[in-house]
Structure 1
Amino acid sequence: MKPPAAAAEFLNQHGWGDAILSPVAGDASFRRYFRVRDGDRRAILMDAPPPHEDPRPFISIAEYLKDSGFAAPGIFARDLTRGLVLLEDFGDQRMREHLDYHPEDEDAIYRQAVDLLRALHQVPAASLPAYDQAQYLREANLLTEWYCPTQRLDVDVESFEAGWREILQPVVNAQNPPVTVMRDYHAENIMLLEDGGFGLLDFQDALIGHPAYDLVSMLQDARRDVTDELEARMLAHYLTDHGKDEAEEFRSHYAILGAQRNTKIIGIFTRLSVRDGKQRYLDFLPRMWRLLEKDLQHPALEPITNWFDRNIPDEVRHRPIPLVNEAP
């Protein structure tokens, strides 16, 4: 992975002309990242090439989070025309890898991550668009747009959308007041910092919406197994200050948003495979189906559970998706 052609000029303009660049693992977008080393100085170069990417939302939300007392990367320099941003380097200690090597820390670290969300939900929400029903529905439809065609399923899209509208309306009604939703809060986007705090990443798609969304994003992680027991303990920890009725409603919304998110991710991971050739994402689909089926057991999901039972039977859910180069 080579740095963008404009990187050398950009870094030279901002006092990093002698720096050495090395690639850093990225995400599923067009963004790329490089570690920048200049003696004892470290930074991260984000390459967010227009028109595919726009770094301005990342910068705006990073500044909001820092102003609110959370650890988002500081912005050292920016060139919005070329999509280059020089960021504070949070190091290599991700929550994911730390727990792989230190599973005994799991409860404490997840509890700290839940406490961070509790704190974020206590501060005024950022000035962002709402996570409204239309957005939830667009995301859920990624399943019918991408996954179902790969399985050659002729599904009832109209009743799919109607079911989601029915179960999502109470969630949307409860988003008052809304909280900031980072939308990708999980073990691969949380950095463990030297001071014992957490550094936040990958929040450029943030909206304002329901507090259960980021919680379920972390506790029903698409890339890391979280046991049912740990999920239950951390959900109970988040709800420590909630009354019985309030907690019951929250758990219902948590299951609905978990199902919506997992439905969306099945669609996204299928799209990454069939459209973009990133077939490694298919490895996550068995976990996504397990998570979705767990959420579908909640009574609040009945209209959508019935749709899945009618349209995507169990044997299909666990059938591999044909690879791009496979004949029909």
Structure 2
Amino acid sequence: MPPVQRILADEAATIELGEDLALALKAGDCVALSGDLGAGKSTFARAFLRALADDDALEVPSPTFTLVQTYELRIPVAHFDLYRLADSSELDELGFDEALSQGICLVEWPERADDALPANRITLAITHENDGRRVEISGPDDKLQRVARSLAIRDFLNQHGHAQARRRHLSGDASIRAYERIHPADGSVSRILMDSPRHKPGPILEDGKYYQQLAHIAEDVVPFVAIDQLLLSRSFAAPAIDARDLDQGILLIEDLGSDGILDEAGEPIAERYVESARLLAHLHGEQTPTDIRVDATIVHRIPDFDRAAMKIETRLLTDWYLPWKRGEPASEEEKREYAAIWDGLIDLLQTSETNLLFRDFHSPNIIWRKERKGLDRIGLIDFQDAMIGPTAYDVASLVQDARVTIVPSLADRMMETYLAERHAGGTFDEATFLRDWHLMSAQRNCKLVGIWVRLMQRDGKPGYMKHMPRTFAYLETALSHESLKPLRDWCMKTGILVSESAN
């Protein structure tokens, strides 16, 4: 990938570049800041650090005499100034390798230790040009692509009336999506930027398809836009879209707020969970069209939560969890038995009620808007993977929140509220729904135990493993229904669950 070049007309442009790159870099990145005295290296570094800290008042002393200054931020940063370095071997004494293993290293005057710095570093070469500066950013393709992506987002904001807007990290999730909070320069209300580049195809698994295709995972932002339009047309609180670039996967959307359905200690707020269950009942009371027109040329068809999608997700248990748990792969016989059991369970769903399901309707994706009334208090986000499937799925997702423990009394209140609203809305087959609830709970939790291991082993995100005990507790609840006995017996036989008599 060729170097990226930008013209920095003034100090404000240098500060903006520092803020933009604070959203592009990650732990393990070394950034070499090359340029003469007065080129703007320190200005860039100061802006970078303050943006990463989200603190304009952060003290950023020059490390000219100390040689290194460290910052414990969202990503740890070590700021090196090597101007007074006598020999490149002194980098070891400054703890460079350790700092790089834990976070980001910003290096001013990299020329003093050129032979000791990582070969895969990102280099910003800043030179004077007329009254401003020119910066050339070079580095390995993967790192440079992240830089280019952040600068493309800046160009998007400029093109849609938000020049000089301030960008701050909001969140990332278990996928490739990331979110920023955008503060317009005119002081108007903040907005959310959704950064969702197109998925790259993975290895072919079956029927000539890769995982995202089999599981119906959104591969671009079109499904989000379509479902958003649908929800708004039905008066649910989804974010309005201010600007969009479907090809690049960049959306500027309404900021619904930052309050969720958990308290400051991370515990469920009962009223908010119960009202979320009520919202699902209202959503399920009206049938959803399967085709949604996004623009003159694009129609999104909401995919079915079909057999292939259900089974590819449940396979995460045998592909990831079981090998991790036992230290050896699942046997072919175990895989065949497991697949046959799920075929039988999925056959039961032929009589299920189906409608729109969000797929991950739980605490990270629900916003609480206390100033509103009724169901308008519940803001909906992160629904790009929505499908048409058993209505029980999202109720299971909420009542058994994957990120927080729901005590039985609250789970009962949510279920009672949902069931009462459905009965009040017309004919409703409660017995079939409850069977489906247990079945969808089992499907979801079999998927999750595999996802937690995959996130740890493949993606280097071990923090998700803390959810494993909760997920198994939820799975045990799901398997208590008589229709799930074949799956429960298989889990006992493989050692995934331990019988009560063995305890």
Pair 1:42 & 2:194 matched: no
Q: Which residue among 283, 289, 295 is the counterpart of 1:120? A: 283
Identity of aligned residues (%): 36
Amino acid of the structure 2 residue aligned with 1:110 = Y
Give CA deviations for 1:71-124 in whole Å, capped at 9, x if unaligned: 1111111112221111111111111246847x6x51x22221111111111222
Give CA deviations for 1:9-57 in whole Å, capped at 9, x if unaligned: 1001100112100000221110011100011221111111224451111
Which residue is equivalent to 1:184? 360
Greater Cα offset, 122-131 or 33-42: 122-131
Which residue is equivalent to 1:213? 393
> Aligned partners of 1:99 and 1:272: how far apart in 2?
25
- Residue correspondence of structure 1 range 199-238 to structure 2 within 5 A: 199-238=379-418
Pair 1:85 & 2:251 matched: yes
Amino acid of the structure 1 residue aligned with 2:406 = V
Contact 2:352 2:432 in 1 (8 A): no
Pair 1:296 & 2:479 matched: yes
> Aligned partners of 2:233 and 2:265: how far apart in 1?
29
Contact 2:272 2:368 in 1 (8 A): no
Which residue is equivalent to 2:449? 266
> Aligned partners of 1:207 and 1:168: how far apart in 2?
16
> Aligned partners of 1:199 and 1:99: how far apart in 2?
21
> Aligned partners of 1:2 and 1:71: how far apart in 2?
28
* Matched position secondary structure for 2:235: coil
- Residue correspondence of structure 1 range 1-328 to structure 2 within 5 A: 2=23, 4-38=150-184, 39-52=187-200, 53-97=219-263, 100=266, 105-106=269-270, 108-127=271-290, 128-151=302-325, 152-155=328-331, 156-175=334-353, 178-193=354-369, 194-196=371-373, 197-240=377-420, 241-242=422-423, 246-314=429-497
Contact 1:252 1:298 in 2 (8 A): yes
Contact 1:94 1:192 in 2 (8 A): yes
Contact 1:94 1:188 in 2 (8 A): yes
Deviation at 1:290, TM superposition (A): 0.9
CA RMSD of aligned residues (A): 2.1
Amino acid of the structure 1 residue aligned with 2:443 = Q
Amino acid of the structure 2 residue aligned with 1:312 = G
Higher CA-based Rg: 2
**Residues 311 and 183 (structure 1 numbering): CA distance in 2 closer, same or farther, change over 3 Å?**
same
Contact 1:96 1:188 in 2 (8 A): no
For normalisation by structure 2, the TM-score amounts to: 0.59
Bigger fraction of residues in helix: 1
> Aligned partners of 2:250 and 2:431: how far apart in 1?
45
Number of aligned residue pairs: give it. 311
Which residue is equivalent to 2:111? none
Deviation at 1:283, TM superposition (A): 0.9
Give CA deviations for 1:257-286 in whole Å, capped at 9, x if unaligned: 101100101111111111111110111111
Give CA deviations for 1:170-210 in whole Å, capped at 9, x if unaligned: 224313xx210001101221101231411101110000011
Amino acid of the structure 2 residue aligned with 1:173 = T
> Aligned partners of 2:234 and 2:193: how far apart in 1?
24
Deviation at 1:211, TM superposition (A): 1.0
Deviation at 1:220, TM superposition (A): 0.4
> Aligned partners of 2:252 and 2:289: how far apart in 1?
23
* Matched position secondary structure for 1:87: strand
For normalisation by structure 1, the TM-score amounts to: 0.89
**Residues 182 and 99 (structure 1 numbering): CA distance in 2 closer, same or farther, change over 3 Å?**
farther
Greater RCO (CA < 8 Å, at least 6 residues apart): 1
Which residue is equivalent to 1:320? none
**Residues 70 and 79 (structure 1 numbering): CA distance in 2 closer, same or farther, change over 3 Å?**
same
> Aligned partners of 1:166 and 1:276: how far apart in 2?
33
**Residues 172 and 268 (structure 1 numbering): CA distance in 2 closer, same or farther, change over 3 Å?**
farther
Deviation at 1:233, TM superposition (A): 2.2
Contact 2:177 2:194 in 1 (8 A): yes
Contact 1:132 1:172 in 2 (8 A): no
Contact 1:121 1:180 in 2 (8 A): yes
> Aligned partners of 1:255 and 1:220: how far apart in 2?
11
Amino acid of the structure 2 residue aligned with 1:265 = L
**Residues 232 and 71 (structure 1 numbering): CA distance in 2 closer, same or farther, change over 3 Å?**
same
> Aligned partners of 1:297 and 1:84: how far apart in 2?
44
> Aligned partners of 1:93 and 1:117: how far apart in 2?
19
> Aligned partners of 1:172 and 1:42: how far apart in 2?
45
**Residues 264 and 281 (structure 1 numbering): CA distance in 2 closer, same or farther, change over 3 Å?**
same
Structure 2 unmatched runs, 5+: 1-21, 25-149, 201-218, 291-301, 499-503
> Aligned partners of 1:184 and 1:125: how far apart in 2?
18
Amino acid of the structure 1 residue aligned with 2:260 = R
> Aligned partners of 1:218 and 1:313: how far apart in 2?
24
